[in-house]
Structure 1
Amino acid sequence: MDRELPRTIALVRDALLPDGRRVDVAIAAGTVTGIAPARTLTAADDTVLDLDGQLLLTAPADPHAHLDKALSFDRIQPPLGDLGSAIGAWRDHAATMTVEDVADRARTQALAMLAAGTTAVRSHVDVLSGHGEATVEEATRGARALVQVRRELAGLVDVELVALAGPHAPDDHVEAVLDLGVDLVGGAPHLADDPDADVDRLLAIARRRGTGVDLHADENLDGPLTIDRYARTVRDWPRDRQYSAGHCVRLGTLDPEHLDRVVADLLAADLGLITLPITNLYLQGWQHPVSTPRGLAPLRTLIDAGVRVAAGADNVRDPFNPVGRSDAFETASLLVSAGHLTPDEAWSLVTDGARSVMGLPRAGVAVGARADLLAVDATSLVDAVANAPAGRSVIAHGRLVAVTEVRRSVAAPTLPAPAGAVA
């Protein structure tokens, strides 16, 4: 850790914005207070971050992570495969985990995300009930670890936690996890024997507790749909909390008329949808060796309809995804190549869209916005998404919290001699 960080920043000097302007950005109390032409504002030297023309962006937020699972791939050595095999490999390993083990991996992963520019993370955490035979103490191991890490990272990364309750997790185990300070109710009702009943059960817990909801929904290419029942149930619920669903892969396989009906339900409920390209591109389609489906929600239809859409990285180096760079630029690049979004749209999904779905204040280079900012050595947003420059400076709540510096040396090529030159 750098002993000079974090450092309060009052002025970001000479920043390049995506629209091509070069500006100074004034910051006070963690909020952007002024924007002016480059090198026209002043502040005390030790509070200035001089970018010298680097690109300044809104810092990403990740609305769907699994910090409790992250970085477990090497120790589990799971078979590569679809969602069912990943669930089995994780369940076997989870029985052996300790609170300390989960906290160590979660902390390492969250700091890697921060170094890459992500200043807010919503992480699901498993209610570790097995098939219902675990004790409350065993069921809450993951939650206790992530609550601890959230406390350690306060002021550096905004962490929201979701109780991921499998179909076999008893209600009292879910309640015990929420009692620890976990923020939202979650689950994966499409995996239950009776998906509609599990939707109703999880929503009943959320209503009783007065919490928001973030469900894993319909992470499959066929089978029953749960997101429509979820949306219709919460349509008239209090709007002082967030309701969202991740994955929603099944929506990408619906016929247009059916999809239109579900989209209408999503809009009526103002339900946020979170797409997770890297994990779903990996997990979906194993049974389709020819014309393999992409396994993504229908992003263009959803965005054009006005649904609040966000994107996250989901799993990183665990049984559900053996790779991943902990970097929002990777997610954005996949949204362009696999989701057919523009680079601007893709970056919006990992920044403004993510913050909307998470219920966070607006951030970025705008007066009154939270000073959560990411500076990279790029000439444009397209350049940044394409190349994901390693050199970065990260500001969270107006404080410089991470700096990555890169030194590159490349051998010069041997050029051909000009025509007519004497050797």
Structure 2
Amino acid sequence: MRSANETSPGNFRRADGRRVATLRNAATVDGQLVDVHITGDRVAAVVPAENRPAGEHDLNLSGYLLLEAPAEPHAHLDKAFSFDEIRPPPGDLGNAIAAWEEYNPRLTVDGIADRARRTALRLLSNGTTAIRSHVNLLPGDAPLRGVQALVRVRTELAAAMDIQLVVLAPYSVDDTAIHAALDLGVDFVGGHPHHTPEPTANLRRLLRIAEERGCGVDIHTDEQLDPEMLTLEQLTHLVGDRPPARPVTASHCVSLGMTAPEVQARVSAAVAAAGIGVVTLPMTNLYLQGRDHPVATPRGITAVRALLDAGVRVAGGADNVRDPFNPLGRADALETAMLLVTAAHLTPQEAYRAVSSGAREVMGLPAAGPAPGAYADLLAIRASGLEDAIAAAPTDRFVLRRGRLVAASRSERSTVTRPAD
């Protein structure tokens, strides 16, 4: 039987964490072939490709597209890959929350850490070099199990990726547990005011604690289809003049997508003026929202175009990966980008920006990518262009984090061209 090979393993180099001096013969999104010289953790120069053989500390990227590495602005590492353990029935957000809460007593620090580590490494292998993860405070006598697990994983993986943590505080938990999570090293205060009996009071409480601790906030905001629920607009009035060191992020913002264009424009302008970053999460919200609308089912994502037009910093994230809130997901930013193209009607360029530089901006991370002076957080993927990368999500990838090769993967595929005689 004769076969045609689609990929060649000849260029493969295993990830070992060593520094890379030069990336040779890489294609850029605008079609150029370049050599990228790296000094330390930054890109020193990007020059036309010289067609030189790759040296011992170089990487030959012939046939690869070179991109800024993605960042994941909204994950739930404590929940990820729990679907097979919980086996919840399909349902909306309320059902997912109930399934997760029912399972909470069986959660252990080691079990959470194992699933979180697996998810973080899957993200890394797909190109993501920075993650912001929310972590629930749990009911009972040990509310910090998830926090302890994710702090452990962050420490273990610190050489390979950046992990930011947000304490996700239920309405019923007291301030002491939130402060204890921050004492353990959590970076941001978070919650979901729109799911509480008193949304405004809960939002004020979370902002007060963040102000006391001098940290930022990342709030689950309006994760529902009610156009009258605009906690996002309340947030713009409450944040005041917060310094860049205490950033404000609003995640989900689904209900804004259900409002009239003039409301979207008004709220988006207020969000931009307040300096709030918005994270849209198409996969989970498309899965959970709209189940009670069997006809003309709403898309369940925020007003991305209106926010971008207003100059808001917009990021795209995967949210949940194979847990009660979403039974699927590849932990791949290209999957999120594809959904932003198909469901939010962004261009491929806008969609990839949302999962890379846009995500880094919302997360407060320094600039990265194939540009002089930027951090050498880079994804090289075997693709003919950005559209091909988003559409096909090829397995063949090299991932650099601050100039070090931290992940590499390849695929081999063969197909029959004609049967053997």
Under TM normalisation by the shorter chain, which class is it?
Answer: over 0.9
Residue type at the aligned position of 1:388:
A
Whole-angstrom distance in 1 between the partners of 2:349 and 2:229: 34
- Match in the other structure for 1:246: 251
Match for residue 18 of structure 1 among 29, 45, 48: 29
In the alignment, structure 1 residue 391 sits paired with structure 2 residue 401: no
Shift of 1:236: 1.0
Give the alignment of 1:121-160 within 5 angstroms: 121-128=131-138, 130=139, 134-135=140-141, 138-160=142-164
In the alignment, structure 1 residue 262 sits paired with structure 2 residue 253: no
In the alignment, structure 1 residue 98 sits paired with structure 2 residue 108: yes
What is the aligned length?
407
Q: Do the aligned partners of 2:219 and 2:250 also contact (CA within 8 Å) in 1?
A: yes
- Match in the other structure for 1:69: 79
Deviations 1:275-306 (A, max 9, x none): 00000000000110111000010111111111
Whole-angstrom distance in 1 between the partners of 2:367 and 2:23: 18
Match for residue 188 of structure 1 among 192, 201, 217: 192
- Match in the other structure for 2:288: 283
Whole-angstrom distance in 2 between the partners of 1:258 and 1:182: 35
Whole-angstrom distance in 2 between the partners of 1:164 and 1:111: 22
In the alignment, structure 1 residue 372 sits paired with structure 2 residue 377: yes
Rate the CA distance shift 1:4–1:379 in 2: closer, same or farther, 3 A.
Answer: closer
Match for residue 30 of structure 1 among 41, 45, 50: 41
- The root-mean-square deviation of aligned C-alpha atoms, in Å, is 1.5
Match for residue 215 of structure 1 among 219, 230, 233: 219
Shift of 1:340: 0.4
Shift of 1:344: 0.4
Whole-angstrom distance in 2 between the partners of 1:98 and 1:340: 41
Residue type at the aligned position of 1:140:
L
Q: Do the aligned partners of 2:15 and 2:405 also contact (CA within 8 Å) in 1?
A: no
Give the alignment of 1:152-171 within 5 angstroms: 152-171=156-175
**1:15 counterpart SS class:** strand
Give the alignment of 1:329-348 within 5 angstroms: 329-348=334-353
Q: TM-score if structure 2 supplies the norm length?
A: 0.94
Shift of 1:93: 0.9
- Match in the other structure for 2:7: none
Whole-angstrom distance in 2 between the partners of 1:297 and 1:283: 14
Greater CA deviation, 256-265 or 273-282? 256-265
What percentage of aligned pairs have identical amino acids? 54
Whole-angstrom distance in 2 between the partners of 1:279 and 1:272: 19
Q: Do the aligned partners of 2:19 and 2:40 also contact (CA within 8 Å) in 1?
A: no
In the alignment, structure 1 residue 357 sits paired with structure 2 residue 367: no
- Match in the other structure for 1:400: 405
Deviations 1:97-123 (A, max 9, x none): 010000000000000000000000000
Shift of 1:218: 0.2
- Match in the other structure for 2:94: 84
In the alignment, structure 1 residue 306 sits paired with structure 2 residue 311: yes
**2:47 counterpart SS class:** strand
Could you list the runs of 5+ residues in structure 1 that have no partner in the other structure? 415-423
Shift of 1:265: 1.7
Could you list the runs of 5+ residues in structure 2 that have no partner in the other structure? 1-12
- Match in the other structure for 1:174: 178
Deviations 1:341-375 (A, max 9, x none): 10000000000100000000101010000000001
**1:393 counterpart SS class:** strand
Greater CA deviation, 329-338 or 227-236? 227-236
Q: Do the aligned partners of 2:99 and 2:324 also contact (CA within 8 Å) in 1?
A: yes
Shift of 1:263: 1.4
Greater relative contact order structure (CA < 8 Å, 6+ sep): 2
Match for residue 229 of structure 1 among 225, 234, 240: 234
Q: Do the aligned partners of 2:281 and 2:318 also contact (CA within 8 Å) in 1?
A: yes
Residue type at the aligned position of 2:272:
L
Q: Do the aligned partners of 1:71 and 1:105 also contact (CA within 8 Å) in 2?
A: yes
Residue type at the aligned position of 2:302:
A
Q: Do the aligned partners of 1:377 and 1:389 also contact (CA within 8 Å) in 2?
A: yes
**1:107 counterpart SS class:** helix
Greater CA deviation, 224-233 or 326-335? 224-233
